[in-house]
Structure 1
Amino acid sequence: MSTTGARVPDEEAARAPDDGVGRRAAPAGSGLWWWARRRSFALDVALAAASALEAAFEGATFAARTGIVTWLGALFGLLVGATLLLRRRWPIAVVLVGVAVTPAQTGFILSLVGLYTLAASEVPRRITAALAGMNGLGTMLVAYLNFEDSLSHSGSSRMSAPLVVMVSLLMALGLTGPPVLLGLYVRARRRLVESLRERADGLERELELLAEKALERAERARAAERARIAREMHDVVAHRVSLMVVHASALKAVALKDPQKASASAELLGDMGRQALTELRQMLGVLRTAADGAAPAGPVVPAEPVPSGVLGEVSPEGALDGSLDDSLDGSSAEAAGPRLAQLAQLVQESRAAGMGVELAVEGEERPCGHRIEATVYRVVQEALTNVRKHADGARAQVRLAYREAEVAVLITNGPAAPTTAPAPSLPSGGHGLIGMRERVTAHGGGFAAGPTPDGGFRVSAMVPLT
């Protein structure tokens, strides 16, 4: 396709998509022929009608001066002026027609509007400059010849040639420069608007993607938080309730035979229930505080043993890391979690429930960090709970090792002891081992669990200190 076919976008309408050859295609069904909007078509028809009338009058005047038939000159001017209707489709052709009829001093509106349309179009600037120069040169020559002819016929003193050239040059610049500069300004402004619109569209798409990702992250965070709360509820409830079930069974067995022992068991059962309620109340209070964004109404007084590591534990997905821990100050968080120093009391509680448990500590005892100690404590607590559930009467050994770069714990138990008495019913949800593994791996540690050759079970965990 030749360059004369370069189409001009609609100045009043929003620019249509590029058709691939430097032209802007009108949206399908949105206008007539190459006009994007009907009001653009009406504007061009009005300009073409004004140009045709002006060119017809000037054509008739030129024909009268040169001896040509007047109506023929008027018809020629009418056709020339009507070509302005094609300015959006073929701006180069319209400007060439204006340059061609310049010697006949016809097409003043045609030249002005054609130059503006050419400069505002997507035609390369070198072509615009060349055609504008041709139009200016033609206008300057015609003006010079008119000045010379007018002076010679008037009989007045002849103006100097340089002055005539200067006046002709100024006239050519006045008729060529303003429409070209205005067209270039409109073209630059349109490009700027397009660039800003594309940037705004890009930002809007990015915001939509960010919003979708934020929703996905929020959904993952909610799922992780639900899993973590379920794990904490399991740890808090399973240990205490299992002990309460064991003591309740023992209380039923000795209630009539040994009232004094039954009274002691009932008192211990009540203490465990109160401790379980205290732990649940603490955990729910921390969750409510984190959700409301407010400080706790009063100081947290932990029971023995204290609630689980819900404070600031890292979830498996890494979401909401430390979100709950940040709801309390450092001192409250340190005071609210279980410590390795409380393992002895945990073992003592299991012994009081009739379980044979031994605790062995290797290495020098030292602080290992709140989260790490809470994780190891919960692993031991859940392992002992599983022994009571699945291996009633079995003996268990708990070995805690303080190493240079890690803390390791090993819980083993033998097979369940044979007995004729029915074991207390302790339901299991099957999430204990999963919860322990999640706790340990969240700190980058290792976890293993499985049966032993003698029919018992073994749970081991290693948590790095860094």
Structure 2
Amino acid sequence: MGEQRERPGSPWRRWVERTGRGPAWRSTLAVAVLAQLGAWWAGQAQTGRVTLDWFGRLLLLLGPALLLLRHRHPVAVAFGVSAVTLAYLGAGFPRGPEFLSLGVACFAAVVAGHRWAAWGSVGLVWAGHLLVGHWLYRWLPPPGDGPASWVRDAGAGGWILGVLALFELVRVRREQWSRERAARVAAERTRVDEARLRITRELHDVLAHGISVINVQAGVGLALLDTDPEQARAALTTIKETGKEALGEVRQVLDILRAPGEAPRAPAPGLDRIPELVEQAAADGLAVEVTAEGTARPLPPGVDLAAFRIVQEALANVLRHSGGRSARVRLVWRSRALDVRVEDDGPSSDGPAPGTTDGGGDGLVGMRERVAALGGTLETGPRPEGGYAVSVTLPLEALIPREDQWPPA
């Protein structure tokens, strides 16, 4: 359950993902410097235009200044920069550098999801450019200027459409990367929640069984303390051994929490430890008979652990709730499944029926979660002839959990 770092993408992807999130002053300063240098170069190359004066320099600074607010107010900045660009066009200054601020403003609007603002501001500047170049040039500086070329304007329009299409592509890619990132975060959160649920269930099974045995033996020890000290001593010895075993299993689970990704120090319990459950139950006064049918074979770790925990929980509930003093565990090995059945003769005494825990029914819930995670079935309920039965079918083709999914479901 440790933290996993996302693998970095391409430099272009990292730049696009950072666009609109980082500080704006660096890019704004770069745009302002390029605009001033571009205006000087355009003034040298374009004869017949108005010489760039303080007013033109101011307009070239005003556009980048508005870009400082493009992350917070992309729509207002897009139209504000378009107005500054139109003023620069109408003043007759050298063409070219004024469009740099407009491109950055439109890019910010597109990636922020305000495509209509980007297209609208570009359309406004384009309409103003045509109006100035083909009709208003007679009354606007520079004096003696002629009409613009429609062919050149058509080519410029094609370039503008291409740039806007590129901005749209960037927006789509950003949205796709955002969805992928959200999906990865959701998957990681789900994996962590599932691992937490498995560990909680494991701790519940360990503690519920151990505490129930300790409770029964403590009652026996108190009852026989004066009349049969040797039997009371045996009960206390069982309490000590059960507590030690429970603490060991709890420590094993907690070690996984302290060192994520490491293998457990001890193997998870399985059906090979059922004789230990029988001995513990016998020490508590419960006679358990275990029968097996079919050919036993190695189980996937998740199935082996689930079968053991279900038998453990069922026997603990018999001790807590059943009036009977005997129980039967039946294992049936079939070709593609393992059947586990635990039943007692009852009748049920005080408290909930066997198969549940005191009050809340967490034992039965834990059983159902284990079985459902493995694709099996669970049936619990009173037997017609008396007592209670827990019957489980676990498919043997269940997937083996990954190493980072311990304890297995």
1:220 pairs with 2:151: no
TM-score (norm 2): 0.61
Q: 1:195 to 1:243 in 2, by over 3 A?
A: same
Shift in CA distance, 120/260, structure 1 to aligned 2, threshold 3 Å: farther
Corresponding residue for residue 453 of structure 1: 384
For residue 253 of structure 1, what is the aligned residue in structure 2? 223
Counterpart secondary structure, 2:331: strand
- The match for 1:197 is 167
- Of 78, 84, 87, 1:41 maps to 87
Superimposed CA distance per residue, residues 434-465 of structure 1 (whole angstroms, 9 cap, x where no aligned partner): 11111112111121112222342111111111
The equivalent of 1:110 in structure 2 is: 146
Secondary structure of residue in 1 paired with 2:285: coil
State the partner residue of 1:388: 319
C-alpha contact (below 8 Å) 1:340/1:376 kept by paired residues: yes
Pairing 1:343–2:274 present: yes
Equivalent residue letter for 2:172: G
Instruction: Find the aligned partners of 1:94 and 1:46 in 2 and give their Cα distance.
Output: 10
Q: Taking structure 1 as reference, are residues 410 and 120 closer, same or farther at Cα in structure 2, changes over 3 Å only? A: farther
Query: In the alignment, which residue of structure 2 is the partner of 1:399?
Result: 330
Q: Distance in 1 between matches of 2:258 and 2:235?
A: 34
1:243 and 2:213 are equivalent in the alignment: yes
Map 1:194-343; keep pairs closer than 5 Å: 194-290=164-260, 293=261, 327-328=262-263, 336-343=267-274
Structure 1 residue 428 displacement after superposition? 4.9
- Structure 1 residues not aligned, in runs of 5+: 1-11, 15-26, 49-85, 99-106, 122-127, 129-183, 294-326, 420-425
Distance 1:447 1:31 in 2: 66
Instruction: Summarize deviations over 1:365-394 as a string: whole Å, max 9, x none.
Output: 221222211111111111111111221434
Which 5+ residue runs of structure 2 have no aligned equivalent? 1-59, 65-74, 95-124, 138-142, 351-356, 398-409
1:434 match: 365
TM-score by length of 1: 0.54
Deviation by residue 1:197-217 (Cα, 9 ceiling, x = unmatched): 222222222233333334433
Distance 2:366 2:136 in 1: 85
Name the SS for the 1:407 alignment partner: strand
Q: Number of aligned pairs?
A: 287
- Counterpart amino acid of residue 266 in structure 1: L
Over 6 Å off, 4+ runs: 27-32
Residue-by-residue CA offset, 1:165-209 (whole Å, 9 max, x unaligned)? xxxxxxxxxxxxxxxxxxx2x445433432332222222222333
Q: Is the 8 A contact 1:400 1:407 kept in 2?
A: yes
- Please tell me whether the aligned partners of residues 348 and 387 of structure 2 are also in contact (alpha carbons under 8 angstroms): no
CA distance in 2, matches of 1:404, 1:230: 32
CA pair 437-418 structure 1, distance change in 2 beyond 3 A: closer
Question: With CA pairs under 8 Å and 6+ residues apart, which has the higher RCO, 1 or 2?
Answer: 2
State the AA in 2 paired with 1:249.
Answer: G
1:377-414 CA distance string (max 9 Å, x none): 11111111111122143421110111111111111112
- The 1:257–1:93 alpha-carbon spacing in structure 2 relative to 1, beyond 3 Å, is closer
SS at match of 2:92: helix
Q: Distance in 1 between matches of 2:126 and 2:163?
A: 23
> Are positions 1:91 and 2:130 aligned together?
yes
1:354 corresponds to:
285
Is the 8 Å Cα contact of residues 338 and 374 (structure 1) preserved in structure 2? yes
**Contact 2:322 / 2:349 at 8 angstroms: preserved in 1?**
no
Cα distance in 2 for partners of 1:89, 1:439 equals 70
